A and B are shown apart, each in its own frame.
Chain A
Amino acid sequence: MTQDLILFIILAVIVIITAVSMLLSRNAVYSAMFLVLNFITVAVIYLLLNAAFIAMVQVTVYAGAIMVLFLFVIMLLGAEKAAKGESLSWQPPLAILLGGALLMEFAYILFVRQTDLISSVESVTKKFGSPESIGDLLFDRYLVPFEITSILLLVAMIGAIIITHRGKKEPQ
């Protein structure tokens, strides 16, 4: 077993434990914190996969900006506690059954059908995944999608403002 494999297994265990903890936490703030830890651990995996730029984007945008937005809304609404009330008792077992079936299919396709993916990967140049090479691709071949993304962000910003805007004449 190589050093890389041991490192990957430790990271994978952390990722799965934090994801399950996020799912099982009764308090939404704890869920958000577990999700931050999950995103940062996935960013470390990205670093190991020669994707340094994407790893940094993951930490700043996902673990930083998006999760701060989540925490802000949780605390604004005071929605930390799990909702009380009657539980739909048939839903969790069915979800576990369907999720297990999906996982089995993943495992079957990955480890039984697709044997050529199990070989070790080839080495890459030092520039692979650097901000410079990503930027070259982004502002050359992917320039139009990049500009469309900026319009999408603008539309989302305006949409969020309009949805949460409370008109003056509307009763409280």
Chain B
Amino acid sequence: MNVPTSYLLALSGVLFVIGAMGVLTRRNAIVIFMSIELMLNSANLAFIAFARSFVDLQGQVMVFFVIAVAAAEVAVGLALIVSIFRTKQSIDVDQISSLKG
């Protein structure tokens, strides 16, 4: 694809900012978690863009590892959300403010 790398990086930056704003503004823990996935995805896009730009496959291998780590993170994170919901009956992050279980 004959698109300048900076355009791809700009798209990646916009996606990252949207994800960061999701983390900052939403209060539903699951939506916050999805925003974190969006930010990881934008980092992957930057990796792929640089892999294409420098014609080096190591960037693509790195994305493979990022996806594997994201899968592990989602499993543990959703388990935590389920566990919090059991004790608090809510996944509103504003209500999860005390250390006591």
Contact = CB atoms under 8 A, between A and B. Distances in A.
Nearest to A49: B52
Interface residues of B, number: 72
B28 A98 contact: no
A42 B18 contact: no
Interface string B57-101: 110110111011111111110111111011000111011000000
Contacts, number: 241
A95 to B, nearest CB: 4
Contacts of B45: 42, 45-46
- Chain B interface helix/strand/loop/mixed: helix
- Chain A interface helix/strand/loop/mixed: helix
A49 B14 contact: no
A59 B69 CA distance: 16
A22 B15 CA distance: 12
B71 A61 contact: yes
Contacts of B76: 156, 159-160, 163
Contacts of A50: 1, 52
Contacts of B67: 57-58, 61-62
B49 A128 contact: no
Interface of A: 2, 4-5, 7-8, 12, 15-16, 19-20, 22-23, 28, 31-32, 35, 38-39, 42, 45-46, 48-51, 53-54, 57-58, 61-62, 65-66, 69-70, 73-74, 76-77, 79, 82-83, 85, 88, 91-92, 94-96, 98-100, 102-103, 106-107, 110-111, 114, 117-122, 124, 128-129, 133-134, 137-138, 142, 145, 149, 152-153, 155-157, 159-161, 163-164, 166
Interface of B: 1-11, 13-22, 24-28, 30-31, 33-35, 37-38, 41, 44-45, 48-49, 51-53, 55, 57-58, 60-61, 63-65, 67-76, 78-83, 85-86, 90-92, 94-95
Given A28-B28, A134-B61, 12 more contacts: A2-B2, A8-B1, A22-B35, A23-B25, A31-B34, A50-B1, A50-B52, A54-B64, A70-B34, A79-B30, A83-B27, A110-B10
